């Protein structure tokens, strides 16, 4: 087959005992392009054949010793007719020896007397056809080997889908045994949908004359198998179909898909698949002029559960929530409308404790709200986790396409905003997105960046409100209160910016600035010759959670040189509820330095006595909301009296805040409240005004009005 072999002259072996015959034969074959070797008898011929096989043998039948028939038979034991073709030279019309020649394995014969030119042509012809036959059989062998190596099944079909031929593949087995389908039409063998898809591709392959491919699946005894069929036209009315079993590949793809598209914890679709699904639904909705609702659900207080019960309980709860959603949302009775049955609702877990539900084809908002209500009801049934029952509530935000957003990211953003609104409304409720929420959000963002700039530009300052002895007005301390002189909006109340600072985390640098500024102020007053017993600084929960807060306090005390017991930190009740013990340790360390702690707005939270005892608290501040109702409000009076009595019994100091009237003062004096803070004595004042008051040492009330 290689070109070298083609270029070399074919080698012919002439075997004849007659010298003249050999001469003539040699001459003739040489003329016809053979390289000739001669043998004078059978023995010599066999010896030469053993050395190397020639490409043609011209063999005389009648020879002394081993005759031509024997030589041929022996030769055939080693070489077949395609490798070493043999032409026998027989006597004229000797039919018996012609027969014998064929029987002993000759390819052809020539009869004596020899027609020399014809001998040359015949020799070349026999040689060529043997060569062609050899190449053909080699090709067949190669093809067979290749076929064996192909894992695929190969079918030959006519244009109507009748099975004509079949080769099995080592890795793919046919739907039914070949004997059952050969000669039949695939429509009676394969499931109708598969048969018709294949038939369509056959039509296409034949009409276009190109390769088609189809993927389909079939139920096999060991489960569903996936196949890929490539259909190639074979002539004008037949096709060759190569079928490969792609089940394993398909399973791998599915697994990869699952990993990429499903949340591993809950098995729910993840954010990625949610977004694709939503995109898809929006596309449909746009075409069909329909609405799509997006519900954004967030569990209430999930962080608390995680922190107090541990992450494994948290994970378990998320799984349970997901399972319940899947199970119940699937049930078609969940929503009494056929359009919203199991195929209609798509849920996903976006991450953390955030879940989404997409409702395609929404006609009215009422249905959406009903789904939200049911969803919430579904989750309030307690979850049993180990020995405990956990009840969770959730907040849901709803955004509806197209009114609330044109694309997936806008809808998601707005559903999220609505969800936050639901949280603000006290949790465990749902809220529809409303344009004003976004306005509020962006106003909030603007405020946040203004605060950041304000901190950099020094737009904040502190004012101080005196705290006095309830009996004689002696100043016992001041509370530092932050003020913001905004360059455009003027004075902004802390009630407005403190919540934003807390949410954004800006309260951390802001609080640190307040603390430093207040301590510096104490130093300045001291240098001006007035000393202050105590400056109270407000600390929000978020600040305390910052890891280096407590070290920061100690550092500021050291840097400003004030005595640690001149500083009081006002904590909120929520700090007491925070389970992280680390803070308690740190608070005790600061207490040992001398720093005081008080609980601000006492009575508004739910802290119990046992909580307070765990912390180094020295004073309770009775919230102004109770003081406001004094002396006539029965509840307020009762609570105020009880708090003061309780504080005394626990040896805690007490201060009443927001005291504005003499009646309030008198009530508090009678109830033995030792300290007072409020407009009655003084509004919060700038440092120099405080300095004057401190010099006086006490604040005297004007004499009470005479006629009353």
Q: How far apart are CA 94 and CA 107, in angstroms?
A: 17
| Beta carbon of residue 420, minimum distance to ligand C2E (angstroms, whole number) | 22
| Span of 344-352, 406-414, 469-477, 490-498 interacting with ligand C2E by CB under 6 A | 490-498
Asked if 540 interacts with ligand C2E (CB under 6 A), we say yes
Q: How far apart are CA 282 and CA 402, in angstroms?
A: 9
| Span of 198-206, 377-385, 556-564, 677-685 interacting with ligand C2E by CB under 6 A | 677-685
| Beta carbon nearer to Ca ion, 150 or 533 | 533
Q: How far apart are CA 694 and CA 247, in angstroms?
A: 87
Q: What is the dihedral of CA 249, 254, 257, 262, to 10 degrees?
A: -160
Mark out the alpha helices in 602-702 (DSSP H runs). Answer: 609-614, 624-628, 634-649, 662-670, 687-696
φ/ψ of 312, rounded to 5, equals -70, -35
- 116's contact among ligand C2E, Ca ion, none, with CB below 5 to 8 A by partner kind, is none
DSSP structure class, residue 160: T
Total residue count of the chain as it appears in this document: 708
Binding characters for ligand C2E, 625-664, by CB under 6 A (x = yes): --------------------------------xxxx----
| Beta carbon of residue 308, minimum distance to ligand C2E (angstroms, whole number) | 25
- 294's contact among Ca ion, ligand C2E, none, with CB below 5 to 8 A by partner kind, is none
| Beta carbon of residue 288, minimum distance to ligand C2E (angstroms, whole number) | 52
Q: How far apart are CA 144 and CA 47, in angstroms?
A: 35
Q: How far apart are CA 455 and CA 117, in angstroms?
A: 115
The H-or-E segment that residue 468 falls in is strand 460-469
Among residues 19, 588, 606, 679, the one that binds ligand C2E under rule CB under 6 A: 679
| Beta carbon of residue 601, minimum distance to Ca ion (angstroms, whole number) | 4
Residues 574-613 that bind ligand C2E (CB under 6 A): 600-601
Total binding residues toward ligand C2E, as defined by CB under 6 A = 22
Among residues 10, 54, 120, 511, the one that binds ligand C2E under rule CB under 6 A: 511
Binding characters for ligand C2E, 85-124, by CB under 6 A (x = yes): ----------------------------------------
| Beta carbon of residue 284, minimum distance to Ca ion (angstroms, whole number) | 55
Contacts of residue 150, defined as CB under 8 A and 6 or more positions apart, other chains included, come to 169, 170, 242
359: its two tokens: 């409702």
| Span of 231-239, 315-323, 569-577, 583-591 interacting with Ca ion by CB under 5 A | 569-577
Residue pair 612/635 in contact by the 8 Å Cβ criterion: no
- 106's contact among Ca ion, ligand C2E, none, with CB below 5 to 8 A by partner kind, is none
| Beta carbon nearer to ligand C2E, 166 or 513 | 513
| Beta carbon nearer to Ca ion, 198 or 639 | 639
| Beta carbon nearer to ligand C2E, 267 or 494 | 494
Asked if 684 interacts with ligand C2E (CB under 6 A), we say yes
**The 3-state secondary structure of 496-556, one letter per residue:** HHHHHHHHHCCHHHHHHHHHHHHHHHHHHHHHCCCCCCCEEEECCHHHHHCCCHHHHHHHH
φ/ψ of 535, rounded to 5, equals -115, 125
| Beta carbon nearer to ligand C2E, 417 or 465 | 465
Q: How far apart are CA 399 and CA 278, in angstroms?
A: 12
**Nearest CA to 227 among 200, 198, 207?**
198
Asked if 570 interacts with Ca ion (CB under 5 A), we say yes
- 465's contact among ligand C2E, Ca ion, none, with CB below 5 to 8 A by partner kind, is ligand C2E
Exposed / middle / buried, residue 589 (Cβ in 10 Å: 0-12, 13-18, 19+): middle
Q: How far apart are CA 482 and CA 567, in angstroms?
A: 16
| Span of 32-40, 295-303, 357-365, 673-681 interacting with ligand C2E by CB under 6 A | 673-681
Binding characters for Ca ion, 503-542, by CB under 5 A (x = yes): -----------------------------------x----
Q: How far apart are CA 400 and CA 410, in angstroms?
A: 10
**Nearest CA to 180 among 166, 191, 170, 193?**
166
Q: Which is it for strands 535-538 and 475-486: parallel, antiparallel or unpaired?
A: parallel
| Beta carbon nearer to ligand C2E, 291 or 624 | 624
Among residues 482, 567, 595, 622, the one that binds ligand C2E under rule CB under 6 A: 482
| Beta carbon nearer to Ca ion, 172 or 538 | 538
Among residues 26, 538, 583, 607, the one that binds ligand C2E under rule CB under 6 A: 538
Asked if 465 interacts with ligand C2E (CB under 6 A), we say yes
Q: What DSSP letter does each residue of 336-348 carry, written as one string?
A: SSGGGSTTT-EEE
Residues 576-605 that bind Ca ion (CB under 5 A): 600-601
Asked if 568 interacts with Ca ion (CB under 5 A), we say no
Q: Which is it for strands 475-486 and 490-492: parallel, antiparallel or unpaired?
A: antiparallel
DSSP structure class, residue 334: G
| Beta carbon of residue 266, minimum distance to ligand C2E (angstroms, whole number) | 38
Asked if 514 interacts with ligand C2E (CB under 6 A), we say yes
| Span of 82-90, 206-214, 394-402, 672-680 interacting with ligand C2E by CB under 6 A | 672-680
Q: Residue 462, SS3?
A: strand
Q: Residue 478, SS3?
A: strand
DSSP structure class, residue 700: P
- 243's contact among ligand C2E, Ca ion, none, with CB below 5 to 8 A by partner kind, is none
Q: How far apart are CA 249 and CA 466, in angstroms?
A: 78
| Beta carbon of residue 511, minimum distance to ligand C2E (angstroms, whole number) | 6
| Beta carbon nearer to ligand C2E, 431 or 465 | 465
Residues 617-676 that bind Ca ion (CB under 5 A): 657
- 684's contact among ligand C2E, Ca ion, none, with CB below 5 to 8 A by partner kind, is ligand C2E
Q: How far apart are CA 585 and CA 616, in angstroms?
A: 10
| Beta carbon of residue 459, minimum distance to Ca ion (angstroms, whole number) | 21
Tell me if the bond preceding 631 is cis, omega within 30° of 0.
Answer: yes
| Beta carbon of residue 538, minimum distance to Ca ion (angstroms, whole number) | 5
Return residues touching Ca ion (CB under 5 A). 538, 570, 600-601, 657
Residues in contact with ligand C2E by CB under 6 A are 465, 481-482, 493-495, 498, 511, 514, 538, 540, 600-601, 624, 657-660, 677-679, 684
């Amino acid at each position: 087959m290689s070109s070298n072999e083609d270029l070399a002259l074919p080698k012919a072996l002439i075997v004849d005992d007659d010298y003249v015959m050999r001469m003539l034969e040699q001459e003739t074959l040489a003329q016809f392009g053979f390289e000739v070797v001669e043998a004078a008898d059978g023995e010599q011929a066999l010896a030469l054949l053993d050395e190397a096989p020639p490409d043609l043998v011209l063999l005389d039948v009648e020879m002394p010793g081993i005759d031509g028939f024997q030589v041929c038979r022996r030769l055939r034991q080693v070489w077949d007719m395609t490798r070493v073709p043999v032409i026998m030279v027989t006597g004229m019309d000797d039919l018996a020896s012609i027969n014998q020649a064929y029987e002993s394995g000759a390819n052809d014969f020539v009869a004596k007397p020899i027609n020399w030119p014809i001998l040359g042509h015949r020799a070349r012809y026999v040689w060529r056809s043997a060569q062609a036959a050899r190449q053909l059989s080699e090709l067949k062998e190669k093809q067979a080997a290749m076929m064996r190596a192909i894992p695929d099944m190969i079918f030959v079909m006519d244009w109507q889908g009748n099975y004509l031929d079949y080769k099995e593949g080592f890795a793919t087995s046919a739907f039914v045994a070949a004997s059952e389908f050969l000669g039949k039409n695939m429509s009676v063998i394969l499931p109708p949908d598969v048969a018709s898809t294949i038939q369509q591709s056959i039509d296409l392959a034949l009409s276009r004359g190109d390769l088609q491919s189809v993927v389909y699946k079939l139920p096999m005894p060991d489960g569903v198998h996936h196949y890929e069929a490539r259909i190639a036209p074979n002539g004008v009315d037949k096709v060759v179909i190569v079928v490969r079993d792609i089940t394993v590949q398909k399973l791998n793809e599915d697994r990869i898909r699952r990993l990429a598209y499903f949340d591993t914890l809950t098995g729910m679709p993840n954010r990625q698949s949610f977004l694709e699904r939503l995109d898809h639904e929006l596309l449909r909705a746009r075409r069909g002029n329909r609405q799509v609702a997006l519900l954004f659900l967030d569990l209430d207080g999930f962080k608390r559960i995680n922190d107090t019960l541990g992450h494994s309980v948290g994970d378990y709860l998320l799984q349970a929530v997901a399972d319940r959603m899947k199970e119940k949302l699937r049930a078609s009775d969940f929503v009494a409308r056929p359009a919203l049955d199991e195929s209609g609702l798509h849920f996903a877990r976006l991450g953390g404790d955030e879940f989404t539900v997409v409702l395609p084809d929404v006609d009215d908002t009422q249905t959406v709200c009903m789904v939200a209500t049911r969803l919430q009801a579904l989750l309030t049934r307690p979850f049993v986790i180990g020995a405990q029952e956990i009840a969770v509530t959730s907040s849901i935000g709803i955004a509806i396409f197209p009114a609330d957003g044109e694309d997936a990211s806008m809808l998601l953003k707005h559903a999220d905003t609505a969800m936050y609104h639901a949280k603000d409304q006290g949790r465990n409720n749902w809220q529809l997105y409303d344009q004003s929420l976004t306005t509020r959000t962006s106003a909030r963002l603007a405020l946040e960046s203004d605060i950041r700039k304000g901190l950099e530009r020094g737009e904040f300052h502190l004012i101080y409100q005196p705290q006095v002895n309830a009996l004689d007005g002696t100043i016992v301390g001041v509370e530092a209160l932050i003020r913001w002189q905004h360059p455009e909006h003027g004075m902004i109340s802390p009630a407005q910016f403190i919540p934003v600072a807390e949410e954004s985390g800006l309260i951390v640098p802001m609080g640190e600035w307040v603390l430093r500024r207040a301590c510096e102020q104490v130093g300045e007053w001291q240098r001006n010759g007035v000393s202050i017993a105590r400056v109270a600084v407000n600390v929000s929960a978020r600040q305390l959670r910052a890891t280096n807060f407590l070290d920061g306090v100690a550092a500021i005390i050291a840097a400003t040189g004030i005595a640690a017991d001149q500083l009081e930190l006002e904590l909120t009740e929520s700090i007491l509820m925070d389970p992280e013990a680390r803070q308690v340790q740190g608070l005790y360390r600061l207490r040992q330095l001398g720093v005081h702690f008080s609980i601000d707005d006492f009575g508004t939270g739910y802290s119990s006595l046992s909580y307070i005892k765990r912390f180094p608290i020295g004073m309770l501040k009775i919230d102004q909301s109770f003081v406001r109702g004094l002396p006539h409000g029965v509840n307020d009076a009762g609570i105020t009296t009880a708090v003061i009595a309780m504080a005394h019994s626990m040896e805690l100091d007490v201060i009443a805040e927001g005291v504005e009237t003499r009646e309030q003062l008198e009530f508090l004096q009678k109830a033995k409240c030792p300290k007072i803070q409020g407009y009655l004595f003084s509004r919060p004042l700038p440092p120099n005004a405080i300095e004057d008051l401190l010099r006086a040492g006490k604040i005297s009330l004007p004499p009470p009005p005479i006629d009353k």
